[in-house]
Structure 1
């Protein structure tokens, strides 16, 4: 028997959605981005260097805002199995970009993550579509659905 093909009666587990994996991973990476950006905003709160047009001087306010965004991104990373979760993830890109008002470099880094988000949406959907086409053309290797 070839190692590429399952033996008769083998249970073939369904593949995880590439779209869910890619979008969830992107949001989890943004959690780290926001955490480190919050640390930068906190450390620059008394400095004129590297500051954006929006100034927040209160350390607790900085950490609460950053912490809330981190929690929102964490929750959304687990909600990527539904279209509503992906729409909310798309909306969550706005506050990540808006951190550029606190630290201008975040416009660039946040913009890179917006591009990654769009790429994750498009590539994940394409991979899932191609997997479904392959499974339809090769039912003997298609996953067993309960």
Structure 2
């Protein structure tokens, strides 16, 4: 799960940066505000790469997804991109967990085969 989620978060890092460039064109926003908000979101996306397997890591990732979608109020295309990345986040969490379960099952089967014991049932 960690690899898939981290890949999604790194993609978000770049999308947030590009959204910041687009948001700078809005005269009602100061450049400092745009880059503080984008900088914090970009930093969070990188830090979350290492926190995925820790308690609360996935939930913080969901909070980032919600913030990405909400950023559509400033940069309208982010409604679409935020929804795409939220779907990618869900897929990364869902299928990543399935991959982790399969790896654990294969490791248990290999360990049982080395010990000469009957392999655990797949299920």
Alignment TM-score > 0.5, same fold: yes
Of the two structures, which has the highest relative contact order with CA contacts closer than 8 Å and spacing of 6 or more? 1
* Superposition TM-score, scaled by structure 1 size: 0.72
Give the deviation of 1:57 after TM superposition: 2.2
Quote the residue 2:71 is aligned against.
Answer: 99
Q: Secondary structure at the match of 1:82?
A: coil
| Structure 2, unpaired ranges of 5+ | 115-123
1:45-124 to structure 2, matched below 5 A, reads: 45-46=26-27, 56-124=28-96
Q: Secondary structure at the match of 2:58?
A: helix
RMSD of aligned C-alpha atoms?
Answer: 1.4
Q: List structure 1 runs of 4+ shifted beyond 2 angstroms.
A: none
1:38 aligns with 2:36: no
Aligned counterparts of 1:41 and 1:88: Cα–Cα separation in 2 = 24
Rg larger for: 1
* Superposition TM-score, scaled by structure 2 size: 0.85
